[in-house]
Amino acid sequence: MTPKSPAPDSGLTELDAGPAPTRRALISVSDKTGLVDFARGLDRLGWALIASRGTAGALAAAGLAVTDAADHTGSPPMLGHRVVTLHPRLHGGILADRDDPAHRADLEAHGIDPIDLVVVNLYPFADRPGPETIDVGGPALVRAAAKNCADVGVVTDPADYAGVLAELEATGELSAATRSQLARRAFALTAAYDAAIAAWLDETDPGETSADPAPPPDPAPGETRPDAAPAPGPTLSPTRADPGPDGAFPPAIGLTLERASELRYGENPHQRAARYRRPGRPGFWDGVVQHGGLALGYLNLLDAAAAWGLVQDLGPDPAAVIVKHANPCGAAAAATLASAYDRAYRCDPRSAFGGIVAANRVIDSAVAEAMAAAAQADVVIAPGYAPGAVERLTARRQNTRLLQAPADCQPPPAPVSPPLAPLAPPAPVSAPPGPAPDSVQPPPGPSTVVRSLGPDGADLLVQDAPRFDSDPADWTVVTARRPTESELADAVFAWRVCAHTASNAVVLARDRTAWGIGAGQQNRVEAGLLAAARARGRAAGGACASDGFYPFGDGIEAAADAGAAVVVQPGGSVNDETVIAAADRLGLAMVFTGERQFRH
Query: Which tens digit of pLDDT belongs to each residue from 265-279?
Result: 888 888 888 888 776
Q: 262 in helix, strand or coil?
A: strand
Q: 500 in helix, strand or coil?
A: coil
Structural domain spans, the chain = 1-280, 285-404, 471-592
CATH fold label, 1-280? Rossmann fold (3.40.50)
471-592: same fold as 285-404? yes
What is the pLDDT, as a whole number, of residue 365? 92
What is the pLDDT, as a whole number, of residue 471? 82
Closest CA to 335 of 314, 357, 318, 360: 318
> Cis peptide leading into 318, omega within 30 of 0?
no
Across the beta sheet with 327-333, the strand order is 289-290, 401-404, 379-382, 356-359, 319-324, 327-333, 513-518, 506-510, 543-546, 566-569, 589-592, 476-477
Angstrom distance (rounded) from CA 155 to CA 572: 59
> At 351, which helix (H) or strand (E)?
helix 349-352
Closest CA to 330 of 596, 522, 547, 534: 534
pLDDT digits (tens, 9 = 90+) for 172-197: 999 999 999 999 999 988 888 888 88
Instruction: Please answer whether residues 217 and 132 qualify as being in contact, where contact means their C-beta atoms are separated by less than 8 angstroms.
Output: no
Catalytic residue set: 147, 325
Angstrom distance (rounded) from CA 542 to CA 490: 6
Helix H, strand E, coil C: the string for 41-110 is HHHHCCCEEEECHHHHHHHHHCCCCCEEHHHHHCCCCECCCCECCCCHHHHHHHHCCCCCHHHHHHHHHH
Q: What are phi and psi of 407, to 5 degrees?
A: -60, -30
CATH fold label, 285-404? Cytidine Deaminase; domain 2 (3.40.140)
Q: What are phi and psi of 134, to 5 degrees?
A: -85, 110
Instruction: Please answer whether residues 9 and 37 qualify as being in contact, where contact means their C-beta atoms are separated by less than 8 angstroms.
Output: no
Q: pTM for the full model? A: 0.68
Angle at 570 between CA 566 and CA 576, to 5 degrees: 85
What is the pLDDT, as a whole number, of residue 428? 38
Greatest CA separation found in the chain? 101
Radius of gyration of the chain (CA): 31
Q: What is the full per-residue pLDDT of the chain (600 aa) written as tens digits?
A: 444 443 333 333 343 444 557 899 999 998 899 999 999 999 999 999 999 888 999 999 999 999 988 888 888 888 877 787 889 889 999 999 988 899 989 888 998 999 999 999 988 887 788 888 888 888 999 999 999 999 999 999 999 999 999 999 999 999 999 999 999 999 988 888 888 888 777 766 555 544 444 434 333 433 332 233 333 333 333 333 444 445 566 666 666 677 888 899 888 888 888 888 776 667 788 889 999 899 999 999 989 989 999 999 998 999 999 999 989 999 999 999 999 999 999 999 999 999 999 999 999 999 999 998 888 899 999 999 999 999 999 887 888 999 999 876 544 333 333 333 333 233 334 333 333 333 333 333 345 666 676 666 667 777 777 766 678 888 999 999 999 999 999 999 999 999 999 999 999 999 999 999 999 998 998 999 999 999 999 999 999 999 999 999 999 999 999 999 999 999 999 999 999 999 999 999 999 999 998 888
Angstrom distance (rounded) from CA 542 to CA 332: 14
What is the pLDDT, as a whole number, of residue 131? 85
Angle at 576 between CA 573 and CA 579, to 5 degrees: 120
What is the pLDDT, as a whole number, of residue 314? 92
Characterize 154-180 residue by residue with b for buried, 16 or more Cβ atoms within 10 angstroms of its Cβ, and e for exposed.
bbbbbebbeebbebbeeeebbeeebbe
Burial of 496 (0-12, 13-18, 19+ CB in 10 A): buried
Burial of 465 (0-12, 13-18, 19+ CB in 10 A): exposed
CA distances, 488 to each of 250, 485, 547 (Å): 41, 5, 17
Superfamily of domain 471-592: AICAR transformylase, duplication domain (3.40.140.20)
